[in-house]
Every structure is written in C-alpha cells, then in structure tokens.
Amino acid sequence: MNKNYLILILLFSICTNSQTQLPNVPLKTLSGQSTSTMEISKKNNLMIISLWATWCVPCKNELDAVAEVYDDWISETNVIYFAVSIDDSRTSKRIKPMVNGKEWGFEILLDENSDLKRAFGVSTVPYTVIVKNGDIVYKHMGYSPGYEDELYSQLIKHVD
C-alpha cells in the first residue's frame, strides 16, 4: 500500500509539472489588426502573457508594478510582455483610454471573445504565464503587492 501511494504521488507531480504548449488563439491589437498567440510567440523565444481586464483592480496593480521594472527585465532577459485584455463588448471601450493614460511599455492585445481565457482554462484574472519556445513553463493566478519579484525570479530560470 505504501509503495502504491508513492507511485501515485510521483505520477501526480510529473503531470502537474509538465510543460504544455501555448494554444493557438486569435487575438487583436489595439488598432484592430488580427494576430494570434502563434504569431506573437514567433517574435521572441521568451515571453510573458498576462490576462487582465479594465474592471479588475488587482490586474491594473500588477500591470503598473510590472511597468516600473519592465525596461530592466528587457535588458536582462530579452523578454516580451503581452497584456491581453479579456474585456467584453460592454467594457472594451475603456481599454484604449486606460492604456493611453498609463505608462505601460508593453504590448496590449485583445481577447475579445475570451478564447485565450477559455484555452487556458481560467475563470478569473489576473492570470499570468511565462512561455519559452512555445511552451508554457510557468502559470500564476492572482496578484498581491511584490508578486512581480516572484515573476521575475521565475523568468530568470528560463533565460538562456
């Protein structure tokens, strides 16, 4: 019985720590151009995707915190950060004015139909993943002050 229990724990840890491939999902730029997760993953071998919404206070706090350190992250890791809004048709008109008022130096994309949110299997935001060479190597849900330091420490693990 003890042996079976250890095998079960081992299998569980292998399954939960395995990498998964980034799903290919259509997205839009703020200017309305079509793109996809596959296209943006070709821009760089290391990227962060963060799902957020204009109505989500923790999301905005996370994006503000990352914006403060993003230039350092780029110079140290060559990462590209994509903030993907999941705002629906009722709240999407708030995205451009909010982004224009912020000093976010990363790319903003739109997940108009929540396709990426569904593909990730998440029900709430913020939700952040690190992607390396098309594989999701780290996932995190939620935000609390200082989390950007944890995200950076995870990011550094995947720099070549």
CATH number of the structural domain spanning residue 109: 3.40.30.10
Q: pLDDT by residue (tens digit) across 25-49?
A: 999 999 999 999 999 998 888 999 9
In a domain, 98, yes or no: yes
Backbone torsion region of residue 134, taken as left when φ is above 0, otherwise alpha when ψ lies between -120 and 50, otherwise beta: left
* Residue at 8 is within a domain: no
pLDDT for 109-121, tens place per residue? 999 999 999 999 9
Global confidence as pTM: 0.86
The count of domains in the chain is: 1
- Which band of pLDDT confidence, cut at 50, 70 and 90, is reported for residue 6? very low
Euclidean distance between CA atoms 82 and 90, whole angstroms: 22
Is 14 within the bounds of a domain? no
Rounded Cα distance between 82 and 40, Å, is 9
Q: Element (H or E) spanning 131, and its range?
A: strand 127-132
Report how far residue 6's alpha carbon sits from residue 63's, in angstroms, rounded to the nearest whole number.
41
Tell me, what's the pLDDT at 96? 94
Predicted confidence band at 9 (pLDDT cuts at 50, 70, 90)? very low
Q: Provide the terminal-to-terminal Cα distance of the chain, rounded to the nearest Å.
A: 43
Band (pLDDT 50/70/90 cuts) for residue 2 is low
What is the reported pLDDT for 89? 83
Domain that holds residue 150: 23-156
Residue 131 lies in a domain: yes
Q: What pLDDT does 44 receive? A: 84
Tell me what pLDDT residue 19 has.
Answer: 57
Mean pLDDT computed over every residue of the chain: 89
- Does residue 10 form part of some domain? no
Q: Is residue 136 part of a domain?
A: yes
Residue 120 lies in a domain: yes
**In this structure, is residue 3 part of a structural domain?**
no
